[in-house]
Amino acid sequence: MSATAGLFFHGKLIANLLDGKGNEIKSADLTVIALQTALEWQQKIELQGVAKRITIQLFDHQGGGKDRGLLVEVEIDSGRGSSN
């Protein structure tokens, strides 16, 4: 995964792997971000066999890690290659 974003809260980004029904299979801390700093990151995340979507959410460091929202949600392509 790679992304560039401008964020307005000091906190951390968390990736969540979801099954076809939207149930969380696995979560992973991606990075800690600084207030009003452009963010660029690249990171590999091991996929679980049944993962159908991945979401990236921002949680702030104040107020017990308040959920500041979903940044992106992407469907995972199950065709990880072809045998043409």
81 in a structural domain: no
Higher pLDDT, 82 or 61: 61
Count of the separate structural domains present in the chain: 1
22 in a structural domain: yes
Q: By the 8 A CB rule, do 51 and 19 touch?
A: yes
pLDDT of residue 21: 93
pTM greater than the 0.95 cutoff: no
Query: Hunting for tokens 């993962």 — which residue is that?
Result: 51
CATH number for position 37: 2.60.40
Residues 43-66 pLDDT 10s = 777 776 788 999 988 888 776 678
Is the predicted pLDDT of residue 84 greater than 50, yes or no?
A: no
Beta-bridge mates of residue 17:
26, 54
41 in a structural domain: yes
Domain residue limits at 61: 2-75
pLDDT of residue 79: 61
**SS3 of residue 34 by DSSP:** coil
80 in a structural domain: no
31 in a structural domain: yes
